[in-house]
Amino acid sequence: MILVTGSAGFIGANFVLNWCAQRDETVVSLDKLTYAGNLENLATLKGNPRHLFVQGDIGDAELVAGLLAQYRPRAVVNFAAESHVDRSIHGPEDFIQTNIVGTFHLLEAVRSYWSGLADTEKADFRFLHVSTDEVYGSLAKDEPAFSETHRYEPNSPYSASKAASDHLVRAYHHTYGLPVLTTNCSNNYGPYHFPEKLIPLMIVNALAGRKLPVYGDGQQIRDWLYVVDHCSAIRCVLEKGRPGEVYNVGGWNEKANLDIVHTVCDLLDELRPLPASQSSILDPQSSSYRSLITFVADRPGHDRRYAIDARKIERELGWKPAETFETGIRKTVQWYLDNQDWVNNVLSGNYRQWIEKNYSERA
Ligand code: NAD
Ligand code: DAU
């Protein structure tokens, strides 16, 4: 069996759902259920004997040691993290606590468990750490995409905390021989994405007839990957990756934020045309969701461009994304239209407080 942390969040939940749909191997899920963790993401696994959910913190060494001793996993896949850049700017402490201190405690518990394994189990064991392209910092327009040897230059408290966790993971391999794998992935999008992040926020706001807040000039570039492709990349690295190696994962889909928002609006215009009663918020003449776009104050320290060079994982492990941006974003918008109950349930009081805090001073 495998232990997956952060399994009730966006990518972790997609990973566990895909895993259980494709494999017979049991998954033990560990998640603290912060504001970003949502058991509804795993609702379709209810009653599935191959999935066991445990609520808890990766920083709780005793709990993690107990789970490792009880279930004896052949691998740990670590998704657990505080993941939102804007939240890290408003309040960095949780990021330090989970992403750095939490990862440290998790590594210690795993090291202790792994040290006690028999030789073959020890050699076969893997600790896969899921990280981000943001650790490499920001690229100028014409600079080559991030390769695995690009210097680390994190710019936000979030990316700095992820960078620190990557270094700890690397050190546990170098010093103790723990068989670790690290993946650094670009921006994901798809089902179960929490609507504090760009794409789901735009879909949810548009459907409610609210403004679509674009930071700065909207020309910042991200490299988008459909979440199911990220999950297949992680499975591939887990099976075939060489211990101690880093694999960059990306979709070869560099897009400016404003173009992303236009695409979302155009898809909604096609799939769920704006009701006449909502078209008047910003432009009474317009019947397009694009009329809701508003430019707001930029994110402090905003990285201009990310781009991933994903040639190593393709060359060495044979992984390539299956979706184009056009197919993935259509599936995503359709998923939000088909899952309005999920959306309504996450728009709780806490969510509204965050939106107020992040956007009220940007007008
Ligand atoms: P998310 O915020 O949607 O989910 C994070 C999950 O971790 C939540 O379920 C939360 O409850 C859980 N969690 C938080 N602190 C915890 C703790 N101390 N102990 C146990 N569980 C805890 O994040 P996501 O977008 O699914 O990202 C998952 C991982 O992938 C993160 O490590 C992130 O850095 C990385 N990543 C994300 C993206 C992206 O575009 N979203 C891209 C590359 C890498
Ligand atoms: O690159 C991988 C990273 O992608 C992950 O490590 C992070 O966990 C994930 O959150 C994401 O980080 P970003 O900061 O790129 O994602 P976010 O969706 O917050 O923002 C994407 C871009 O859109 C960014 O340039 C900021 C901009 N933006 C975002 C929001 C929420 C807006 O213009 N308006 C908004 O309201």
Mean pLDDT by 10 residues, the chain (363 residues): 98 98 97 97 96 98 98 98 98 98 98 98 98 98 98 98 99 98 98 98 96 98 98 98 98 97 98 76 80 97 98 98 98 98 92 93 80
Q: Which ligand is nearest to the CA of 99?
A: 1
Give the integer Cα–Cα distance in Å for 127 and 179: 6
Q: Which atom of ligand 1 is nearest to the CA of 58?
A: 19
Angle, to 10 degrees, between the axis of helix 198-207 and the axis of helix 325-338? Answer: 50
Give the start-to-end residue ranges of the domains of the chain. 2-194+221-252+304-322
Gap from CA of 330 to ligand 2 centroid (Å) = 19
What does the DSSP 8-state code read for residue 343?
A: H
Give the integer Cα–Cα distance in Å for 41 and 54: 14
Ligand 1 shell residues, CB under 6 Å: 5-6, 8-12, 31-34, 36-37, 57-59, 79-83, 98, 102, 130, 132, 162, 185, 187-188, 194
- Please report the sign of the dihedral spanned by the C-alpha atoms of residue 30, residue 33, residue 36, residue 42: positive
Gap from CA of 83 to ligand 1 centroid (Å) = 5
Which tokens is 320 given? 């390539």
Query: What's the confidence (pLDDT) of residue 64?
Result: 98
Q: Which ligand is nearest to the CA of 131?
A: 1
Query: What's the confidence (pLDDT) of residue 280?
Result: 47
Going by CA atoms, what residue is nearest to atom 41 of ligand 1? 188
Query: What's the confidence (pLDDT) of residue 282?
Result: 65
* Residues forming a β-bridge with 249: 185
The CATH number of 2-194+221-252+304-322 is 3.40.50.720
How far does Cα 146 stand from its chain's mean position?
18
Active site positions, annotated: 133-134, 158
Gap from CA of 303 to ligand 2 centroid (Å) = 10
**CA-based angle 338:339:340, to the nearest 5?**
105
For ligand 1, mutation pick of 34, 100, 134, 186 (most atoms within 8 Å of CB):
34
Q: Quick one: 103 exposed, middle or buried, by C-beta within 10 A (0-12, 13-18, 19+)?
A: buried
Give the integer Cα–Cα distance in Å for 54 and 46: 13
Query: What's the confidence (pLDDT) of residue 278?
Result: 62
Alpha helices in the chain (DSSP H): 10-22, 61-71, 85-90, 93-95, 103-115, 119-124, 157-176, 198-207, 227-240, 257-271, 311-317, 325-338, 340-346, 349-359
Gap from CA of 115 to ligand 2 centroid (Å) = 39
Phi-psi region of 179 (alpha: psi -120 to 50; beta: other; left: phi over 0): beta
Q: Which atom of ligand 2 is nearest to the CA of 222?
A: 15
